[in-house]
């Protein structure tokens, strides 16, 4: 696989190593450190001239530091004459600040747009991300954006781990996720419901209204992310009081900040399933209900190639795109050789 160099930021090195192993590549040499005044310093330890560079950095942990580190790495590779720089951002930072929510918020920022501008100015030629909080964020960029979806992995997990899945109902914890749950419900041929919520302020839910019938069914809450987990825990209580027999939660990005872990431990979830866009090792030690979707094992089962094409996972997205890009390069080289005769 020529002309591809893979670098890892410091936010999720385990994911980067898994991607490198899947590609059969070594991670590129990069040293990141901070000066005493907390400025970030990045040193690229190998030549990237003419190379197709992928930088993996998720929007988690110390988000502002990790975002700045990503911007510096992109710029370092760009001014070192790399042919193309792709930023692989499994969890896009500031994605929830994508609009002005209320009338009269004339001074509220649209920070997701600001992040998009920063990535473009730093020199990124291509963005790969997963389950954006709002699809319109793709329109904030003037460069190609691939927004991958966790839906195939979610469907696979439901079928393999919930025995009563044919009698389940897919539930969105808010009206904004209605499109997501209807798509999953249609694929499973089951019904869906949604919960209308009203907030007093950010991270604090005031009131919830359930729209749909969950009585005597397994309820599966599906959302793109969970931060303090106030919404999904309130939603779980609402579903149980409405007659649901069991409640599961499936989330793409498990942020789990503040009181999230204690809330999950005290909630009546059978399991809280997340993807590995954010590292979960430490949180799993304190909460046995958290499960991480393990896609590499699925890709090794029979029908590996076509099955892996169906799995929207950050572990495989770079592999698929890199393979396609390598094939395109080979075709161009063959055409160039043919014209030279």
**Domain boundaries for CATH 3.40.50.2020 within the chain:** 4-99+109-149+314-325, 151-293
C-alpha distances out from residue 207 to 54, 251, 308, Å: 44, 22, 41
* Tens-place pLDDT, residues 23-64: 888 999 999 999 999 999 999 999 999 999 999 999 998 999
What pLDDT is recorded for position 315? Answer: 46
H/E element, 311: none
Q: State how far the Cα of 221 lies from the Cα of 230, in Å rounded to an integer.
A: 13
90 neighbors 121 (Cβ within 8 angstroms): no
Pairing of strands 191-201, 168-172: parallel
- CB 321: neighbour CB atoms within 10 A? 18
Q: What is the pTM of this model?
A: 0.83
Among 61, 71, 56, residue whose Cα is nearest residue 18: 56
37: its two tokens: 């005044």
Q: What is the pLDDT of residue 273?
A: 95
Q: Which CATH number fits domain 151-293: 3.40.50.2020, 3.30.2130.30, 3.40.50.720, 3.30.1360.120?
A: 3.40.50.2020
Residue 175 has a pLDDT of 82
User: Between residues 320 and 101, which one has the greater pLDDT?
Assistant: 101
- What letter would DSSP give residue 224? E
At 135, give phi and psi (nearest 5°): -65, -25
pLDDT score at 295: 47
Contacts for 341 with CB less than 8 Å, ≥ 6 apart: none
Q: What is the pLDDT of residue 339?
A: 55
SS3 161: helix
Q: How many Cα atoms sit within 13 Å of 256 on the Cβ side?
A: 26
Interval 126-139: pLDDT, tens: 999 999 998 899 99
Q: What is the dihedral of CA 221, 225, 229, 231, to 10 degrees?
A: -60
- Facing residues of 185 across strands? none
Residues β-bridged to residue 295: none
pLDDT digits 0-9 by tens, 59-90: 998 999 999 999 999 999 999 999 999 999 99
Q: How far is residue 327's CA from residue 115's CA, in Å, rounded to a whole number? A: 31
CA–CA gap between residue 75 and residue 53 (Å, rounded): 12
CATH of the structural domain 4-99+109-149+314-325, one choice from 3.40.50.12780, 3.40.50.10470, 3.40.50.2020, 3.40.50.2000: 3.40.50.2020
Nearest to 289 by CA among 241, 245, 229: 229
Give the range among 97-111, 145-159, 220-234 with minimum mean pLDDT: 97-111
- Residue 70, Cα to own-chain centre: how many angstroms? 16
- pLDDT tens sequence across 241-292: 999 999 999 999 999 999 999 999 999 999 999 999 999 999 999 999 999 9
Q: Is 100 helix (H, G, I), strand (E, B) or coil?
A: coil
Of 336, 243, 326, whose CA–CA distance to 52 is shortest?
Answer: 326
Summarize the confidence of residues 176-195 as an average pLDDT: 92
pLDDT the model gives residue 340: 57
Select from 107, 117, 113 the least CA-distant residue to 136.
113
């Amino acid at each position: 696989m020529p002309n591809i160099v893979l670098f890892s930021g410091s936010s999720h090195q385990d994911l980067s190593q898994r991607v490198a192993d899947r590609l059969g590549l070594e991670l590129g040499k990069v040293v990141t450190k901070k000066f005493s005044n907390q400025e970030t310093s990045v040193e690229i330890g190998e030549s990237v001239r003419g190379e197709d560079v992928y930088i993996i950095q998720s929007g988690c942990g110390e988000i502002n530091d990790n975002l700045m580190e990503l911007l510096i790495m992109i710029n370092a590779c760009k001014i070192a004459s790399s042919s193309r720089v792709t930023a692989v951002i499994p969890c896009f930072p500031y994605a929830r600040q994508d609009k002005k929510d209320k009338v009269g918020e004339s001074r509220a920022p649209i920070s997701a747009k600001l992040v998009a501008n920063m990535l473009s100015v730093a020199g990124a030629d291509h963005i790969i991300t997963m389950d954006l909080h709002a699809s319109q964020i793709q329109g904030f960029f003037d460069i190609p954006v691939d927004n991958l979806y966790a839906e195939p992995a979610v469907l696979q997990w439901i079928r393999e781990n919930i025995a009563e899945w044919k009698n389940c109902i897919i539930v969105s914890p808010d009206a904004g996720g209605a499109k997501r749950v209807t798509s999953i419900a249609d694929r499973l041929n089951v019904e869906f419901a949604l919960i209308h919520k009203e907030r007093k302020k950010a991270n604090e839910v005031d009131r919830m209204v359930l729209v749909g019938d969950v009585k005597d069914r397994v309820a599966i809450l599906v959302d793109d992310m969970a931060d303090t987990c106030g919404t999904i825990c309130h939603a779980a209580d609402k579903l149980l009081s409405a007659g649901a027999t069991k409640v599961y939660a499936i989330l793409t990005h498990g942020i789990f900040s503040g009181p999230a872990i204690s809330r999950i431990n005290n909630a009546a979830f059978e399991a809280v399933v997340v993807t590995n866009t954010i590292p979960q090792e430490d949180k799993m030690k304190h909460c046995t209900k958290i499960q991480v979707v393990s896609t590499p094992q699925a890709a090794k089962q029979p029908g590996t190639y076509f099955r892996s094409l169906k799995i929207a996972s950050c572990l495989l997205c770079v592999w698929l795109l890199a393979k396609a890009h390598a094939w395109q390069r080979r075709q161009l080289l063959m055409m160039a050789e043919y014209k030279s005769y």
